[in-house]
Amino acid sequence: MPGREPGSEQSPAHPSPRDAALAAAVFAACLLFVFLGIWRQGFTEFVPSVERPGTFGVLTEADVRLAVWGTSRNAWVLTRAPWHFFDAEPCYPTPRSLTLGHPMLSLGLLGVPLRLLAPDPVATYNAVFAVVILANALAMYLLVVQWTGSPAAGIAAGALFAFHPVALDRVMHPQIYDLSWTLLALWFAQRLCTGRRWRDALGLGAALVVQMGGSFYAAAIGALVCAPFFAWLLWRSRGVRPAHAALVCGIALLGAALVYGPYLAARALQDFERPDKYYLAWSALLPGGARDPGLWLWALAACGLALGRPRGGSAVGDPRAALVAAALLAALAAAGGIAGSRFFYAALSWIPGFGSVRHPSLLAAGTHLALSALAGLGVAALVRACGPRRGRVAAGTLVAATLATVLEPTPLSGAQTRLYALRARPPQEEIDFYEALGSRGNAGPVLELLVSRVAPELRSRSVLLTAYHHRPVSTCYNSIEPRGGAEIERLIAALPDRAAQQRARELGFTTIVIQHPPRNAEMQAVRASFERAQAEVPVPLLRPLYSTPWFSAFTLGGP
């Protein structure tokens, strides 16, 4: 075809419908093999989590509840009032309190149809979680098949990326490891460079925006992976039409303004800078390390590097250099300690919200992504080396060995992950309590007096409970603490003083809820003090509304 550069004589390879269906079936079987035992305990009650020792286990469970809340709440608000997307319920009266953490827009978008079909928050999260895992596998499959033309290579790469123990080690943060959008961006970018179609430009821009809206970590991983690939594509292809480039840049800039604009406005109200950084030790990537990808993955990736460029599928040349560059960039950003990584984080801190990134170790997911793609190239090279007669046998053997290594612990699997079922659904009496308040006409923001205002478990449970009742609450659990939190703490300590009641009304609170377990004498005394306070004045602001053995609600009415 006139005008094509050397190495771009062919169109990108596409899997046949039969091959794509087979890959989807394999990935679905892997998903059920790994998670069905958890979901069978109750799809509306239990979610997958990872075992962690001591305090890390408590924080892990709290992070899982935060992800369940964000997924369900974002899906709920996108179907009802998307213009209030950043006006989250926790941390009232902090304005646009969703800016205290990751936007989780991608999880919310995936949850919109699921929320309409299954309005239960935990069920919505489990369904979105399953979609995220499958999307990671299928997006890697599409990209590797596009390069190699080998469905076996795509299946192996997808399984290594989505179901490897290193990937499952962070199932409590699906907003961070939802990287299918980065893979789809690479897929659309290659199609755009070779086919020059408007739909590919639209797909590329949309994938970039949704990846930005997932989390700051996922956006940073996407930037580290996409930068060398985009440079490679522009160098090897015929280039991109200016109109297509303008459309992609326009969509990306508009999306960045919508996603990061509220974070820029919140900078005046919150301290987003996190000077403490937790880097990954280089030894963690080596055999025996906490992020060891295993000898099987290393071996297949080495074959991908050593056995030549992909044939028959890649329309723009050999992607191995870009893959190596992406793996190294992600590893350097995750490990830190050098001038380049310090420059990278200094540059990130200028982007609204990215100053809150304090676990660069999580960026090693970009290295795992690149190694999985290289492993797919290695499978394709080994199948080609076996010749056409033995190619089918070789492809089946390599895929079977890869699945066995990923799904069952072997000496070749690398670091292992222990999953368990976490009961995420709040106790039914808590859900019923807020439903009872609503049935009595009570609405508006709630000032919560919990047994402990610092315990991550109680705070995260309160945040998750808002996905059921959708009322603003004073309790916070997120990446950043609001600056106004100190005033709320002083206000809670001063209650039921009448001046504190008046200040609570001025802040917009309509209700005070006290948690008082039957055997907790301190909180029982707090409830008694509220009852005395409303009885000791002729025209009380406090009025008892509803009480159970565990909770009591008082309204903050007018005189």
Measure Cα distances from 60 to 217, 379, 420, 460 in Å: 17, 36, 12, 11
Name the residue with higher pLDDT: 430 or 337: 430
Contact 230, 187 (CB under 8 A): no
Among residues 158, 225, 235, 81, the alpha carbon closest in space to that of 402 is found at 158
Task: Please compute the mean of the pLDDT values over residues 349-355 and round it to a whole number.
Answer: 68
What whole-number distance in Å separates Cα of residue 212 and Cα of residue 182? 10
In this prediction, residue 2 has a pLDDT band, given cuts at 50, 70 and 90, of very low
String of DSSP letters for 339-378: HHHHHHHHHHTTSTTGGG---GGGGGHHHHHHHHHHHHHH
In this prediction, residue 98 has a pLDDT band, given cuts at 50, 70 and 90, of very high
What whole-number distance in Å separates Cα of residue 120 and Cα of residue 123? 5
Backbone angles phi, psi at 515, to 5 degrees: -95, 120
Q: Are strands 511-515 and 551-556 parallel, antiparallel or unpaired?
A: antiparallel
pLDDT digits (tens, 9 = 90+) for 512-559: 999 999 989 999 999 999 888 877 776 678 889 999 999 999 998 754
Q: What percent of the chain has pLDDT over 90?
A: 59
Predicted local confidence at residue 1, as pLDDT: 32
Predicted local confidence at residue 313, as pLDDT: 45
In the three-class reduction of DSSP (H, G, I as helix; E, B as strand; rest coil), residue 323 is classed as helix
Predicted local confidence at residue 70, as pLDDT: 95
Query: Which contacts of 48-53 are long-range, i.e. CB under 8 A and separated by 24 or more positions?
Result: 48/129, 48/171, 48/419, 48/420, 48/421, 48/422, 49/171, 49/172, 49/419, 49/420, 49/421, 49/422, 50/168, 50/169, 50/170, 50/171, 50/172, 50/417, 50/418, 50/419, 50/420, 51/418, 51/419, 51/420
Among residues 189, 176, 303, 299, the alpha carbon closest in space to that of 249 is found at 189
Task: Please compute the mean of the pLDDT values over residues 150-166 and round it to a whole number.
Answer: 95
Question: Quick count: other Cβ atoms within 10 Å of Cβ 536?
Answer: 10
String of DSSP letters for 305-317: HHS----SS-SS-
Beta bridge partners of 446: 473, 511
Question: Quick count: other Cβ atoms within 10 Å of Cβ 522?
Answer: 9
Predicted local confidence at residue 15, as pLDDT: 79
Q: What percent of the chain has pLDDT over 70?
A: 89
Predicted local confidence at residue 5, as pLDDT: 37
Which residues, including other chains, have CB under 8 Å from residue 271's CB and lie 6 or more apart? 480, 483
Per the rule left: phi > 0, alpha: psi between -120 and 50, beta: everything else, 404 is alpha
Predicted local confidence at residue 346, as pLDDT: 65
Among residues 284, 295, 373, the alpha carbon closest in space to that of 335 is found at 284
Contact 72, 425 (CB under 8 A): no
What whole-number distance in Å separates Cα of residue 149 and Cα of residue 157? 13
Is 90 exceeded by the pLDDT of residue 338? no
The sign of the CA dihedral 235, 237, 241, 247 is: negative
Predicted local confidence at residue 274, as pLDDT: 55
Is 70 exceeded by the pLDDT of residue 435? yes
- pTM value? 0.92
Instruction: Read off the tokens for 70.
Output: 């964000």
What whole-number distance in Å separates Cα of residue 321 and Cα of residue 299? 17
pLDDT digits (tens, 9 = 90+) for 476-496: 998 888 877 888 999 999 999
Q: Where are the domains of the chain?
A: 17-50+101-420, 428-556
The stretches of 214-338 forming alpha helices (DSSP H) are: 216-236, 242-266, 295-306, 320-335
In the three-class reduction of DSSP (H, G, I as helix; E, B as strand; rest coil), residue 46 is classed as strand
117-121, 149-153, 508-512 — which is least confidently predicted? 117-121
Contact 218, 175 (CB under 8 A): yes
In this prediction, residue 107 has a pLDDT band, given cuts at 50, 70 and 90, of very high
Predicted local confidence at residue 269, as pLDDT: 56
Predicted local confidence at residue 265, as pLDDT: 79
The distance in angstroms from the start CA to the end CA of the chain is 83
pLDDT digits (tens, 9 = 90+) for 8-54: 344 556 778 899 999 999 999 999 999 999 999 999 999 999 998 88
Predicted local confidence at residue 361, as pLDDT: 86
pLDDT digits (tens, 9 = 90+) for 163-186: 999 999 889 899 989 999 999 999
What whole-number distance in Å separates Cα of residue 502 and Cα of residue 504? 5
Burial of 485 (0-12, 13-18, 19+ CB in 10 A): middle
In this prediction, residue 302 has a pLDDT band, given cuts at 50, 70 and 90, of very high
Average pLDDT score over the chain? 87
pLDDT digits (tens, 9 = 90+) for 377-417: 999 999 988 887 787 898 899 999 999 999 988 888 878 88
Task: Please compute the mean of the pLDDT values over residues 243-263 and round it to a whole number.
Answer: 91
Predicted local confidence at residue 36, as pLDDT: 96
